[in-house]
Amino acid sequence: MTEANYRGRFAPTPSGEMHVGNARTALIAWLDARSRGGTFVLRMEDIDGPRCKPHFYDLILEDLRWLGIDWDEGPDVGGPYGPYVQSLRLADYDEALKRLEARGLLYPCYCSRAELLAVASAPHGLASEGPAYPGTCRHLTDEERRERERKKSPSLRFRLPDRAVAFEDGAAGPQRFAPGAGGDFVVRRADGIVSYQLAVVVDDAAMAITDVVRGADLLDSTPRQLFLFEALGLNAPRYAHVPLLCGPDGKRLAKRHGALSIRALRERGVRPEQVVGAIAAVSGLHDRPEPIAARELIAGFRLEKVPKEPVVVDEAWIAGLTGG
């Protein structure tokens, strides 16, 4: 299948080393774009400056290339929709906030900083934010707001419309979220940092992204993003949320699985074909657990081959990958 107007992307956060779970998502997103004859975009989501480090930025580029994943547009190769680094796109986010504010869709929130710490970086599901926001500051009077502002600078929250959201997910199938899922959400923190939810919407629209293939941990963030696309008068992409790769403990592979970082595997002398082959075998993309180059998977790739449930790898799989 060829879709000349297909524009996919991979948007990592340079806050740590890329691990096998990240690499699997990147590989599937890349294969989806390449198998459709589309354009693949790399974007660095470094909006939360204190968490992001330049050496991780460089390492991600090295790791992706080592795996055989390339891109048509990105921070190092440029393209017509740059810059491809969020920290260089702040003016776009400010403009979006002004548009939302002009429509009366934002309100100041004076709740504790502890509640808001994680909102700028890509969340691993809304559950990572804690309980749904109860709307504490939504109906404050002007006087109450002035009083609170004397004590604390506010964040800005988006007024979530009181209606359900339904969409067809390319990997997870039909989705429906009840009204108010997660509650009104932060689009700008009290310290001025714009949230992941707003930045990703503005960027995907500005870069003409048509298809987003990402991990299932972001599935429940999609209604928020769809509401923002609508409020800003922007076209939303199609979404496909692929189940996560989990360790023997049943938890998603993450930075805590240090031995499974791509850098660690490279330093142990593991070949990229071994990593790609191991990922492909447990992801339904190759019928044998043997080394294979990423480009060799393009011709036979179909998103529907990817398992519908989280993939749990065992110690033997990890040992085979790491040579342990």
- CATH code: domain 89-196 is 3.90.800.10
pLDDT in tens, 94-148: 999 999 999 999 999 998 766 545 444 555 556 666 677 888 899 999 999 999 9
CATH topology of domain 7-86+243-322: Rossmann fold (3.40.50)
**Cα–Cα distance between 224 and 229 in angstroms, integer?**
9
Report whether pLDDT(79) > 70. yes
Q: Is the dihedral angle over the CA atoms 198, 91, 52, 280 positive or is it negative?
A: positive
**Cα–Cα distance between 281 and 288 in angstroms, integer?**
6
CB contact at 8 A, 215 and 241: yes
The model carries a pTM of 0.92
The residues, any chain, with a CB within 8 Å of residue 65's CB and separated by 6 or more, are none
CB contact at 8 A, 31 and 284: no
Q: Which helix (H) or strand (E) holds 116?
A: helix 113-116
Q: Do domains 7-86+243-322 and 89-196 have the same CATH topology?
A: no
Q: Which of 279, 259, 233, 216 is nearest to 68 (CA)?
A: 279
DSSP structural state of residue 93: H
Q: Is 251 known to be catalytic?
A: no
* Domain spans, the chain: 7-86+243-322, 89-196
In order of 31, 78, 126, 164, 216, the CA distances from 174 in angstroms are 23, 36, 19, 13, 14
**Cα–Cα distance between 63 and 159 in angstroms, integer?**
40
pLDDT of residue 118: 46
Residue 1 pLDDT class (50, 70, 90 cuts): very low
Report whether pLDDT(89) > 70. yes
Which stretch, 39-43, 123-127, 289-293, has highest mean pLDDT? 39-43
Catalytic residue among 151, 255, 305, 308: 255
The residues, any chain, with a CB within 8 Å of residue 136's CB and separated by 6 or more, are 109, 111
